[in-house]
């Protein structure tokens, strides 16, 4: 065994080229990698750089600025940060992320995961199947379902709640899209938390029970410290997904009166409807920055726990 493995590199290599494990040599090895690099350059690096550039111009979808965009420096960014519509949209996005991801999906997902451990297998299977179904259905289908559910005249929700004529999407647009996204995305948190809860040693929970710890105390002192990493990972993923989620557009289209215009919708409206590609691109970059900050904060928290 030890005899057939290749000798360490510092023990006088037989051929000069054979410093790599496969023995291809630098030139041939590069030939294998180049196609992938080209594809990455075309489809990832170029658009990214292009976006960076567009954000600094007054590029428009139509008109003179479409043919001959002018370099405007940081104007787009300054404008965005002074634009009450942008700030409103940022605020709505925050509400959307906190409401549907942090509170809705993860808390509901945890409660479901914890409760389903104690119910009979059949019940658990059925509930899990429904939650998963909501997750795997395409957004467009789910959006259509919710429009039908919340319909003013013949909607199921109005029939169930006994509130005929209630226009949910007009009266409570933010609440509607928050509930919609919670409903659609809870499965992920539920699955992640069920796996996490399986990793909590039963004897530790039982020790807590033996000394008389209440359900809440068991959660705080035993369960939560064990699943803290899972909670953070889950929060990171679902807040990023929710932050960039465009599906609410399919339900409220940002309206009425921009009252549910979260950032992805705002970008779409500015760039495509108003044709201000440069401005829209600048906002996309701002979103990217916010995503990065979110990710860094969560990763910091995760690392803190490990050390």
Partner 1 sequence: MADIELRRLVKEYPGGVRAVDGLDLTIADGEFFALLGPSGCGKTTLLRSIAGLETVTGGHILIGGRDVTGLAPGARDIAMVFQDYALFPHMTVRDNIAYPLRIRKMGRPERHAKAEETAEGLSLGGLLDRRPGQLSGGQQQRAALARAVACHPKVFLFDEPLSNLDARLRLEARTFLKRLQRDLGVTTVFVTHDQAEALAMSDRMAVMDAGRIRQIGTPTEVFQRPASTFVASFIGSTPMNLLDAVADRDTLRVAGTTLPLPAAAGPHVRDGEKLVFAARPEYMTLHREAEPTGIEGVVAIVENMGVGSLVSLEVPGGADGARIVQVTVPEGQEPEIGSRGWAVAAPERVLLYRHDDGELVGSERAGAGEPVLAGAGD
- Contact at 8 Å (CB) between 206 and 161? no
Nearest approach in angstroms of CB 112 to partner 1 is 23
**Cis peptide, bond prior to residue 256, ω within 30 of zero:** yes
Tell which one of 222, 238, 282, 287 touches partner 1 (CB under 8 A): 222
Closer to partner 1 by CB, 14 or 211: give it: 211
71 bridge partner residues: 57
**Which residue is it, tokens 């919710």?**
146
Tell which one of 221, 274, 292, 293 touches partner 1 (CB under 8 A): 221
Report d(CA 53, CA 73) in Å as an integer.
10
- Contact at 8 Å (CB) between 140 and 148? no
Tell which one of 118, 154, 203, 307 touches partner 1 (CB under 8 A): 203
Tell which one of 209, 233, 237, 288 touches partner 1 (CB under 8 A): 209
Nearest approach in angstroms of CB 190 to partner 1 is 24
Q: Is 230 in the site for partner 1 (CB under 8 A)?
A: no
Give residues 258-287 in contact with partner 1 (rule: CB under 8 A). none
* 102 Cβ contact list (under 8 Å, min separation 6): 235, 238, 239
Query: 93 vs 13, 36, 62, CA distance in Å?
Result: 59, 36, 29
Burial 49-84, CB ≥16 within 10 A → b, else e = eeeeebbbbbbbeeeebeeebeebeebbbebbeebe
Nearest approach in angstroms of CB 304 to partner 1 is 13
CA 178 to chain centre: 14
Residue 68 is classified by DSSP as: S
Q: Is 217 in the site for partner 1 (CB under 8 A)?
A: yes
Q: Is 36 in the site for partner 1 (CB under 8 A)?
A: no
Cβ neighbours of 156 (radius 10 Å): 12
Nearest approach in angstroms of CB 300 to partner 1 is 19
Q: Is 212 in the site for partner 1 (CB under 8 A)?
A: yes
Closer to partner 1 by CB, 26 or 220: give it: 220
Tell which one of 207, 215, 293, 296 touches partner 1 (CB under 8 A): 207
For the chain, state the CA radius of gyration.
Answer: 26
Point out which span in 86-94, 103-111, 216-224, 261-269 binds partner 1 (CB under 8 A): 216-224
Nearest approach in angstroms of CB 192 to partner 1 is 20
Q: Is 201 in the site for partner 1 (CB under 8 A)?
A: yes
Q: Is 27 in the site for partner 1 (CB under 8 A)?
A: no
- The 3-state DSSP class for residue 184 equals helix
Q: Is 118 in the site for partner 1 (CB under 8 A)?
A: no
- Contact at 8 Å (CB) between 200 and 255? no
Point out which span in 51-59, 183-191, 210-218, 295-303 binds partner 1 (CB under 8 A): 210-218
Q: Is 225 in the site for partner 1 (CB under 8 A)?
A: yes
Cβ neighbours of 240 (radius 10 Å): 18
Tell which one of 20, 171, 206, 274 touches partner 1 (CB under 8 A): 206
Residues that bind partner 1 (CB under 8 A): 201, 203-204, 206-213, 217, 221-222, 225-226
């Amino acid at each position: 065994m030890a005899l057939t493995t290749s000798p360490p590199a510092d023990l006088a290599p037989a051929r000069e080229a054979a410093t790599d494990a496969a023995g291809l040599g630098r030139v041939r090895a590069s030939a294998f990698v180049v196609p992938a690099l080209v594809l990455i350059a075309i489809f990832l690096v170029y658009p990214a750089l292009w976006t960076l550039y567009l954000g600094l111009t007054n590029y428009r979808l139509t008109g003179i600025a479409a043919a001959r965009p002018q370099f405007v420096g940081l104007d787009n960014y300054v404008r965005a940060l002074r634009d009450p519509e942008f700030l409103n949209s940022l605020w709505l996005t925050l509400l959307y992320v906190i409401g549907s991801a942090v509170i809705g999906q993860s808390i509901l997902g945890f409660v479901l995961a914890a409760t389903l451990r104690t119910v009979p297998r059949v019940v658990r299977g059925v509930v899990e199947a429904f939650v998963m179904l909501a997750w795997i259905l395409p957004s467009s289908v789910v959006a259509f379902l919710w429009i039908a559910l919340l319909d003013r005249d013949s909607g199921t929700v109005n029939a169930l709640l006994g509130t005929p004529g209630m226009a949910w999407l007009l009266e409570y647009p933010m609440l509607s899209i928050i509930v919609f996204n919670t409903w659609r995305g809870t499965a992920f948190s539920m699955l992640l938390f069920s796996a996490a809860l399986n990793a909590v040693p039963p004897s530790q929970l039982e020790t807590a029970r033996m000394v008389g710890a209440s359900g809440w105390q068991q959660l705080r002192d035993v369960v939560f410290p064990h699943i803290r990493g899972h909670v953070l990972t889950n929060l990171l993923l679902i807040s990023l997904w929710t932050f960039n989620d465009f599906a609410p557009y399919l339900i409220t289209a940002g309206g009425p009166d921009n009252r549910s215009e979260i950032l992805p919708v705002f970008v779409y409206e500015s760039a495509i409807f108003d044709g201000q590609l440069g401005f829209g691109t600048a906002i996309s970059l701002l979103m990217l920055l916010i995503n990065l900050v979110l990710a860094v904060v969560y990763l910091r928290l995760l690392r803190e726990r490990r050390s």
